[in-house]
């Protein structure tokens, strides 16, 4: 018995915020949306693809996302340009604690979810 790899991660947004979330994740970050199974459509949210993994965007009300350290970390190219793009959109950058072999920073998405961007050096 082995755990083979991570298949997907899920973040949550408030119910009814799918349009705003698509604007951020699909239009701004450039992640492609993938079809969600018919059996799960009524639950709201949508699914994204990043490489061979998936990011599931679910809906959940009455939850303060700004109070958690839970997050998804994205390995990126050209971290400096990502920083400039995010700052240009008005996103507040949070400097991460240095870790070996990576440059990194964090921010909160429009719904308060913590996000980390890393680039290997």
Instruction: Mention every residue, 6+ apart, whose C-beta is less than 8 A from residue 53.
Output: 6, 7, 8, 9
State yes or no: pLDDT of 4 exceeds 90: no
| CA 101 from centroid of its chain's CA atoms | 22
State yes or no: pLDDT of 112 exceeds 90: yes
Which of 62, 44, 91 has the alpha carbon at shortest distance from 10?
A: 44
Instruction: Mention every residue, 6+ apart, whose C-beta is less than 8 A from residue 88.
Output: none
CATH numbers and ranges of domains, the chain? 1-63 (3.10.180.10), 64-121 (3.10.180.10)
The pLDDT score that the predictor gives to residue 76 is 97
pLDDT, tens only, 44-101: 999 999 999 999 999 999 999 999 999 999 999 999 999 999 999 999 999 989 999 9
The pLDDT score that the predictor gives to residue 96 is 86
Helix (H, G, I), strand (E, B) or coil at 97: coil
Q: Are strands 46-50 and 53-59 parallel, antiparallel or unpaired?
A: antiparallel
Specify the DSSP element, H or E, that contains 62: none
């Amino acid at each position: 018995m082995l755990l083979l790899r991570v298949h997907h991660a899920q973040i949550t947004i408030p119910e009814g915020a799918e349009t705003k979330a698509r604007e951020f994740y699909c239009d701004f970050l450039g992640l492609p949306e993938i079809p969600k199974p018919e059996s799960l459509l009524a639950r709201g949210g949508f699914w994204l693809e990043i490489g061979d993994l998936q990011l599931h965007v679910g809906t959940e009300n009455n939850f303060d996302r700004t109070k958690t350290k839970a997050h998804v970390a994205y390995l990126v190219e050209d971290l400096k340009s990502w920083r400039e793009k995010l700052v240009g959109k008005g996103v507040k950058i949070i400097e991460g604690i240095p870790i070996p072999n990576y440059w990194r920073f964090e921010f909160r998405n429009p719904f308060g979810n913590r996000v980390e961007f890393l680039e290997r050096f």
